Amino acid sequence: MNRRAALGALLAIGVTWGMTVPAAKVAVSTGYQPFGLIFWQLLIATLLLGALMLRRGMWPPLHGWPIFVMVAVLGTIFPNSFSYRAAAELPAGVMSIVIAVVPMFALPVALALGLERLRLIRLVGLALGAVAIAMIAGPETSLPDPGAAPWLLVALIAPLCYAFEGNLLAKFGTRGLDPLSVLFGASVVGLIFATPLMLATDQWINPVTVWHAPEYAILASGILHVAAYSGYIWLVGWAGPVFAAQVAYLVTGSGVVWSMLLLGERYSPWVWAALLLMLVGVALVQPRGGARD
Protein backbone atom coordinates (compact mmCIF):
# COMPACT_ATOMS: atom_id res chain seq x y z
CA MET A 1 0.00 0.00 0.00
CA ASN A 2 1.30 3.45 -0.94
CA ARG A 3 1.05 5.36 2.33
CA ARG A 4 1.01 8.79 0.69
CA ALA A 5 -1.82 7.75 -1.61
CA ALA A 6 -3.74 6.30 1.32
CA LEU A 7 -3.33 9.50 3.34
CA GLY A 8 -4.39 11.56 0.34
CA ALA A 9 -7.49 9.42 -0.12
CA LEU A 10 -8.30 9.66 3.58
CA LEU A 11 -8.00 13.45 3.47
CA ALA A 12 -10.14 13.75 0.33
CA ILE A 13 -12.88 11.54 1.77
CA GLY A 14 -12.90 13.34 5.12
CA VAL A 15 -13.02 16.81 3.55
CA THR A 16 -15.81 15.72 1.17
CA TRP A 17 -17.83 14.18 3.98
CA GLY A 18 -17.31 17.23 6.17
CA MET A 19 -18.83 19.46 3.48
CA THR A 20 -22.17 17.64 3.85
CA VAL A 21 -22.65 19.23 7.28
CA PRO A 22 -22.94 22.88 6.16
CA ALA A 23 -24.82 21.64 3.07
CA ALA A 24 -27.45 20.14 5.38
CA LYS A 25 -27.63 23.40 7.32
CA VAL A 26 -28.30 25.34 4.12
CA ALA A 27 -30.85 22.76 2.94
CA VAL A 28 -33.01 23.24 6.04
CA SER A 29 -32.60 27.02 6.14
CA THR A 30 -35.90 27.76 4.36
CA GLY A 31 -38.03 25.24 6.19
CA TYR A 32 -37.57 22.06 4.16
CA GLN A 33 -38.55 19.11 6.35
CA PRO A 34 -36.59 15.88 7.04
CA PHE A 35 -38.60 13.33 5.05
CA GLY A 36 -38.52 15.47 1.92
CA LEU A 37 -34.76 15.86 2.26
CA ILE A 38 -34.28 12.16 2.97
CA PHE A 39 -36.34 11.26 -0.12
CA TRP A 40 -34.11 13.30 -2.43
CA GLN A 41 -30.91 12.10 -0.75
CA LEU A 42 -31.97 8.48 -1.26
CA LEU A 43 -33.17 9.07 -4.81
CA ILE A 44 -29.84 10.64 -5.77
CA ALA A 45 -27.98 7.77 -4.11
CA THR A 46 -30.16 5.18 -5.86
CA LEU A 47 -29.58 6.73 -9.28
CA LEU A 48 -25.82 7.16 -8.86
CA LEU A 49 -25.22 3.77 -7.26
CA GLY A 50 -27.61 2.13 -9.71
CA ALA A 51 -25.51 3.44 -12.60
CA LEU A 52 -22.41 2.01 -10.91
CA MET A 53 -24.08 -1.36 -10.32
CA LEU A 54 -25.24 -1.43 -13.96
CA ARG A 55 -21.69 -0.81 -15.10
CA ARG A 56 -20.51 -3.68 -12.91
CA GLY A 57 -23.26 -5.91 -14.26
CA MET A 58 -24.09 -7.02 -10.70
CA TRP A 59 -27.30 -6.52 -8.72
CA PRO A 60 -27.88 -7.21 -5.02
CA PRO A 61 -29.67 -10.54 -4.44
CA LEU A 62 -33.09 -10.50 -2.78
CA HIS A 63 -31.87 -12.55 0.17
CA GLY A 64 -30.07 -9.45 1.42
CA TRP A 65 -33.31 -7.63 2.21
CA PRO A 66 -32.95 -7.84 6.04
CA ILE A 67 -29.56 -6.13 5.78
CA PHE A 68 -30.97 -3.51 3.42
CA VAL A 69 -33.83 -2.74 5.81
CA MET A 70 -31.54 -2.45 8.81
CA VAL A 71 -29.05 -0.17 7.03
CA ALA A 72 -31.84 1.94 5.52
CA VAL A 73 -33.60 2.46 8.85
CA LEU A 74 -30.60 2.84 11.18
CA GLY A 75 -28.25 4.39 8.64
CA THR A 76 -30.49 6.93 6.93
CA ILE A 77 -34.20 7.27 7.69
CA PHE A 78 -34.19 7.30 11.48
CA PRO A 79 -30.94 9.22 12.13
CA ASN A 80 -31.44 11.76 9.35
CA SER A 81 -34.97 12.55 10.44
CA PHE A 82 -33.50 13.76 13.73
CA SER A 83 -30.25 15.28 12.45
CA TYR A 84 -31.99 17.39 9.80
CA ARG A 85 -34.38 18.67 12.45
CA ALA A 86 -31.53 19.48 14.84
CA ALA A 87 -29.53 21.12 12.03
CA ALA A 88 -32.23 23.77 11.76
CA GLU A 89 -31.60 24.78 15.39
CA LEU A 90 -27.86 24.23 15.94
CA PRO A 91 -24.75 25.66 14.27
CA ALA A 92 -23.30 23.38 11.60
CA GLY A 93 -19.97 23.32 13.46
CA VAL A 94 -21.67 21.92 16.54
CA MET A 95 -23.36 19.29 14.38
CA SER A 96 -19.88 18.35 13.12
CA ILE A 97 -18.68 17.82 16.68
CA VAL A 98 -21.73 15.67 17.44
CA ILE A 99 -20.77 13.34 14.56
CA ALA A 100 -17.62 12.43 16.49
CA VAL A 101 -19.76 10.83 19.21
CA VAL A 102 -20.37 7.73 17.03
CA PRO A 103 -17.36 5.72 18.35
CA MET A 104 -18.32 6.64 21.92
CA PHE A 105 -21.83 5.28 21.48
CA ALA A 106 -20.47 2.32 19.54
CA LEU A 107 -18.33 1.12 22.43
CA PRO A 108 -21.10 0.39 24.98
CA VAL A 109 -23.20 -1.20 22.23
CA ALA A 110 -20.24 -3.39 21.26
CA LEU A 111 -19.71 -4.34 24.90
CA ALA A 112 -23.37 -5.37 25.18
CA LEU A 113 -23.08 -7.50 22.05
CA GLY A 114 -19.81 -9.09 23.20
CA LEU A 115 -17.80 -7.56 20.36
CA GLU A 116 -15.34 -5.59 22.51
CA ARG A 117 -13.68 -5.71 25.91
CA LEU A 118 -13.70 -2.80 28.33
CA ARG A 119 -10.45 -1.05 29.17
CA LEU A 120 -9.79 1.87 31.50
CA ILE A 121 -8.39 4.04 28.72
CA ARG A 122 -11.68 3.73 26.86
CA LEU A 123 -13.63 4.77 29.93
CA VAL A 124 -11.50 7.92 30.01
CA GLY A 125 -12.37 8.52 26.35
CA LEU A 126 -16.09 8.14 27.06
CA ALA A 127 -15.78 10.59 29.97
CA LEU A 128 -14.05 13.17 27.77
CA GLY A 129 -16.81 12.87 25.19
CA ALA A 130 -19.47 13.43 27.84
CA VAL A 131 -17.60 16.48 29.15
CA ALA A 132 -17.33 17.86 25.60
CA ILE A 133 -21.10 17.64 25.08
CA ALA A 134 -21.69 19.24 28.49
CA MET A 135 -19.34 22.10 27.59
CA ILE A 136 -21.41 22.84 24.48
CA ALA A 137 -24.77 22.56 26.22
CA GLY A 138 -23.85 24.19 29.50
CA PRO A 139 -22.16 27.58 29.19
CA GLU A 140 -24.39 30.42 28.03
CA THR A 141 -21.76 31.56 25.53
CA SER A 142 -21.27 28.22 23.75
CA LEU A 143 -24.39 28.42 21.54
CA PRO A 144 -25.83 31.49 19.76
CA ASP A 145 -29.14 30.70 21.47
CA PRO A 146 -28.82 29.00 24.90
CA GLY A 147 -32.39 27.76 24.45
CA ALA A 148 -31.13 25.53 21.61
CA ALA A 149 -29.19 23.31 24.05
CA PRO A 150 -31.96 20.66 24.26
CA TRP A 151 -31.58 20.14 20.52
CA LEU A 152 -28.20 18.58 21.28
CA LEU A 153 -30.12 15.59 22.66
CA VAL A 154 -32.04 15.36 19.39
CA ALA A 155 -28.79 15.58 17.39
CA LEU A 156 -27.26 12.77 19.49
CA ILE A 157 -29.93 10.31 18.29
CA ALA A 158 -28.22 10.13 14.89
CA PRO A 159 -24.80 8.92 16.13
CA LEU A 160 -26.60 6.47 18.43
CA CYS A 161 -28.31 4.99 15.37
CA TYR A 162 -25.00 4.77 13.50
CA ALA A 163 -23.44 3.02 16.49
CA PHE A 164 -26.16 0.35 16.46
CA GLU A 165 -25.91 0.00 12.69
CA GLY A 166 -22.15 -0.58 12.70
CA ASN A 167 -22.25 -3.05 15.55
CA LEU A 168 -25.14 -5.04 14.10
CA LEU A 169 -23.28 -5.33 10.80
CA ALA A 170 -20.17 -6.45 12.68
CA LYS A 171 -22.20 -8.97 14.70
CA PHE A 172 -24.30 -10.51 11.95
CA GLY A 173 -22.36 -9.70 8.79
CA THR A 174 -23.75 -8.81 5.37
CA ARG A 175 -24.72 -12.30 4.13
CA GLY A 176 -21.76 -12.30 1.76
CA LEU A 177 -22.76 -9.05 0.07
CA ASP A 178 -20.11 -6.51 -0.87
CA PRO A 179 -20.45 -3.03 0.67
CA LEU A 180 -21.59 -1.28 -2.53
CA SER A 181 -24.38 -3.83 -2.98
CA VAL A 182 -25.47 -3.21 0.60
CA LEU A 183 -25.41 0.56 0.08
CA PHE A 184 -27.42 0.34 -3.15
CA GLY A 185 -29.94 -2.12 -1.72
CA ALA A 186 -30.37 0.03 1.38
CA SER A 187 -30.90 3.13 -0.78
CA VAL A 188 -33.66 1.40 -2.74
CA VAL A 189 -35.37 0.08 0.39
CA GLY A 190 -34.96 3.43 2.12
CA LEU A 191 -36.60 5.13 -0.86
CA ILE A 192 -39.54 2.74 -0.60
CA PHE A 193 -39.93 3.63 3.09
CA ALA A 194 -39.29 7.36 2.75
CA THR A 195 -41.70 8.03 -0.10
CA PRO A 196 -44.96 7.30 1.79
CA LEU A 197 -43.61 9.03 4.90
CA MET A 198 -42.87 12.13 2.84
CA LEU A 199 -46.28 12.13 1.16
CA ALA A 200 -48.22 11.35 4.36
CA THR A 201 -46.60 14.27 6.18
CA ASP A 202 -46.81 16.64 3.21
CA GLN A 203 -43.04 17.18 3.08
CA TRP A 204 -42.63 16.88 -0.70
CA ILE A 205 -39.95 19.18 -2.12
CA ASN A 206 -40.78 20.24 -5.65
CA PRO A 207 -37.64 20.44 -7.81
CA VAL A 208 -39.50 22.31 -10.55
CA THR A 209 -38.95 25.75 -9.10
CA VAL A 210 -36.46 28.59 -9.18
CA TRP A 211 -33.39 27.12 -7.54
CA HIS A 212 -31.64 28.97 -4.75
CA ALA A 213 -28.99 27.93 -2.22
CA PRO A 214 -31.17 25.32 -0.40
CA GLU A 215 -32.04 23.45 -3.61
CA TYR A 216 -28.42 23.36 -4.74
CA ALA A 217 -27.44 22.25 -1.22
CA ILE A 218 -29.84 19.29 -1.43
CA LEU A 219 -28.31 18.17 -4.73
CA ALA A 220 -24.77 18.72 -3.49
CA SER A 221 -25.44 16.88 -0.23
CA GLY A 222 -26.77 13.82 -2.06
CA ILE A 223 -23.81 13.66 -4.43
CA LEU A 224 -21.26 14.31 -1.68
CA HIS A 225 -22.76 11.59 0.54
CA VAL A 226 -22.50 8.99 -2.23
CA ALA A 227 -18.97 10.06 -3.18
CA ALA A 228 -17.68 10.11 0.40
CA TYR A 229 -19.31 6.88 1.53
CA SER A 230 -18.32 4.98 -1.62
CA GLY A 231 -14.77 6.26 -1.18
CA TYR A 232 -14.81 5.17 2.45
CA ILE A 233 -15.93 1.66 1.49
CA TRP A 234 -13.15 1.49 -1.09
CA LEU A 235 -10.59 2.71 1.45
CA VAL A 236 -11.65 0.07 3.98
CA GLY A 237 -10.95 -2.62 1.39
CA TRP A 238 -7.64 -1.12 0.32
CA ALA A 239 -6.10 0.18 3.55
CA GLY A 240 -8.07 -1.67 6.21
CA PRO A 241 -10.84 -0.65 8.63
CA VAL A 242 -8.57 0.70 11.37
CA PHE A 243 -6.83 3.14 9.02
CA ALA A 244 -10.11 4.11 7.33
CA ALA A 245 -11.75 4.78 10.71
CA GLN A 246 -9.47 7.80 11.15
CA VAL A 247 -11.73 9.60 8.69
CA ALA A 248 -13.94 10.46 11.69
CA TYR A 249 -11.39 13.07 12.83
CA LEU A 250 -11.28 14.66 9.38
CA VAL A 251 -15.08 14.72 9.03
CA THR A 252 -15.42 16.53 12.34
CA GLY A 253 -12.53 18.95 11.78
CA SER A 254 -13.36 19.73 8.16
CA GLY A 255 -17.06 20.10 9.03
CA VAL A 256 -16.14 22.85 11.48
CA VAL A 257 -13.81 24.53 8.98
CA TRP A 258 -16.30 24.30 6.09
CA SER A 259 -19.00 25.78 8.34
CA MET A 260 -16.75 28.74 9.09
CA LEU A 261 -15.78 29.26 5.45
CA LEU A 262 -19.17 28.71 3.82
CA LEU A 263 -21.57 29.89 6.52
CA GLY A 264 -19.46 32.43 8.37
CA GLU A 265 -19.95 30.65 11.69
CA ARG A 266 -17.79 31.59 14.64
CA TYR A 267 -17.52 29.70 17.90
CA SER A 268 -16.81 30.49 21.52
CA PRO A 269 -13.74 29.13 23.33
CA TRP A 270 -16.06 26.59 24.98
CA VAL A 271 -16.88 25.02 21.61
CA TRP A 272 -13.23 24.91 20.54
CA ALA A 273 -12.31 23.27 23.85
CA ALA A 274 -15.17 20.80 23.39
CA LEU A 275 -13.88 19.95 19.90
CA LEU A 276 -10.40 19.25 21.27
CA LEU A 277 -11.75 17.08 24.09
CA MET A 278 -14.00 15.18 21.69
CA LEU A 279 -11.15 14.36 19.31
CA VAL A 280 -8.95 13.18 22.20
CA GLY A 281 -11.84 11.10 23.51
CA VAL A 282 -12.41 9.47 20.13
CA ALA A 283 -8.70 8.63 19.92
CA LEU A 284 -8.86 6.88 23.29
CA VAL A 285 -12.09 5.00 22.57
CA GLN A 286 -11.12 3.57 19.19
CA PRO A 287 -9.47 0.11 19.16
CA ARG A 288 -5.78 -0.16 18.46
CA GLY A 289 -4.13 -2.38 15.89
CA GLY A 290 -5.77 -4.54 13.27
CA ALA A 291 -7.91 -6.55 15.62
CA ARG A 292 -10.25 -5.83 18.43
CA ASP A 293 -8.60 -5.81 21.83
In a domain, 292, yes or no: no
In a domain, 249, yes or no: yes
pLDDT at res. 290: 43
pTM of the model: 0.87
pLDDT tens, position by position, for the chain (293 residues)?
A: 577 888 888 899 989 999 999 999 999 988 899 999 999 999 999 999 999 899 888 888 888 899 999 999 998 999 999 999 999 999 999 999 888 888 888 888 888 888 778 788 888 988 898 899 888 887 776 777 778 888 999 999 998 998 888 888 878 888 788 888 889 999 999 999 999 999 999 999 999 888 999 999 999 999 998 888 888 877 876 776 667 777 878 888 899 999 999 999 998 888 999 999 988 888 888 765 443 33
pLDDT at res. 240: 66
pLDDT at res. 61: 86
In a domain, 18, yes or no: yes
pLDDT at res. 287: 63
In a domain, 290, yes or no: no
In a domain, 291, yes or no: no
State the residue range of the domain holding 206.
Answer: 3-285
Our count of domains for the chain comes to: 1
pLDDT at res. 4: 80
In a domain, 214, yes or no: yes
pLDDT at res. 291: 39
Q: What is the DSSP string of the chain?
A: --HHHHHHHHHHHHHHHHHHHHHHHHHTTT---HHHHHHHHHHHHHHHHHHHHHHHT----GGGHHHHHHHHIIIIIHHHHHHHHHHTTS-HHHHHHHHTTHHHHHHHHHHHHTS----HHHHHHHHHHHHHHHHHHSSTTSSSSGGGTTHHHHHTHHHHHHHHHHHHHHHH--TT--HHHHHHHHHHHHHHHHHHHHHHTT----SSS---HHHHHHHHHHHHHHHHHHHHHHHHHHH-HHHHTTHHHHHHHHHHHHHHHHH-----HHHHHHHHHHHHHHHHHSPPSSS--
